Amino acid sequence: MNLTNKVAIVTGGGQGIGEGICEILAKNGCTVIVTDLNSNSAKNVANKINSMNYKSISHQLDVTKHEESSLISQKVFDQFGKIDILINNAGIVAAPNWESKQKLTEDDWNLTFQVNLRGLAKVTESVIPFMKNAKYGKIINIASVAGRIGGTFHPPYSSTKAGVINYTQSMSTKLAKFNINVNAICPGHVWTGLAHRTSMNQKISQGEKKSSLRDVFENNIKTWVPLQREQKPQDIGYLAAFLASDFSKNITGQAINIDGGIYMN
């Protein structure tokens, strides 16, 4: 995929799947603006990309604050003259310390909605005017296979990820006349900090004492993934790069699974 001279904003780019996406976009020629709630994490990823002779800068961003999204979008436009790509990756499972809790709280619902769905929409709203004026744009939302199917996993997370898929479909229709593609990616099991905490929650809820967190994760792979193969953050990055490229110009309104065959449409 040739993304030379393209400019991309990635939310939640300071770790995990977001970091993998930033790396692959940069390797395909894109200038990557790494944003994250943790400014140090964002800066570390941008420095890593620059050390490989690719192009990246970083910004601290709380996606729940519309004024921050608007300010960063304007700064990026002022510096580069355009915003070609937006990757909405920032997300949470629930309120802090959720992995050690057995019962959901009001904060779990409220904060998860504010970050995963409303925050995603706020960042999207901040870049749309620039993309409309350019008559070009690629918006890629990171959802989850958890948004496809019901289950015992945290309802706030699954519900908001289902909302991300619906939001993707709605915005793809609304923005199509401006030559803006809007798609979603639904990852399955990826060993990240989020998966580490998910495995901890699963271990606590099942009363498991002997297995390590990594063992819990690998057992989930064996149990649920037909390909029996672990995914890497970069695997999500390759699909994001494809959807950000002109090879995908006729793909919009889609939610594409990358999960080793857990969920099939």
pLDDT at 99: 58
pLDDT tens digits, one per residue of 87-143: 999 999 877 665 556 678 899 899 999 999 999 999 999 999 999 999 999 999 999
200 pLDDT more than 50 = no
2 belongs to a structural domain: no
217 pLDDT more than 80 = no
| CA terminus-to-terminus distance, the chain | 25
Catalytic choice (136, 157, 167, 263): 157
Mean per-residue pLDDT over the chain, rounded: 89
pLDDT tens digits, one per residue of 11-33: 999 999 999 999 999 999 999 99
54 is catalytic: no
Q: How many domains does the chain have?
A: 2
In a shared domain, residues 103 and 133: yes
162 belongs to a structural domain: yes
Domain that holds residue 209: 190-230
In a shared domain, residues 176 and 220: no
The Cβ-side half-sphere exposure at 181, using a 13 Å CA radius, reads: 21
264 belongs to a structural domain: no
Helix axes 16-27, 233-244, angle to 10 degrees: 50
112 belongs to a structural domain: yes
Gap between the Cα atoms of 119 and 97, Å rounded: 20
84 pLDDT more than 50 = yes
Residue 226's pLDDT band (cuts 50, 70, 90): confident
pLDDT at 49: 98
In a shared domain, residues 223 and 170: no
Mean predicted confidence (pLDDT) in 166-189: 96
In a shared domain, residues 131 and 246: yes
Gap between the Cα atoms of 220 and 205, Å rounded: 15
In a shared domain, residues 79 and 203: no
Nearest CA to 11 out of 176, 235, 240 is that of 240
pLDDT at 153: 63
In a shared domain, residues 54 and 26: yes
pLDDT tens digits, one per residue of 235-250: 999 999 999 999 999 9
Nearest CA to 183 out of 119, 242, 113, 114 is that of 242
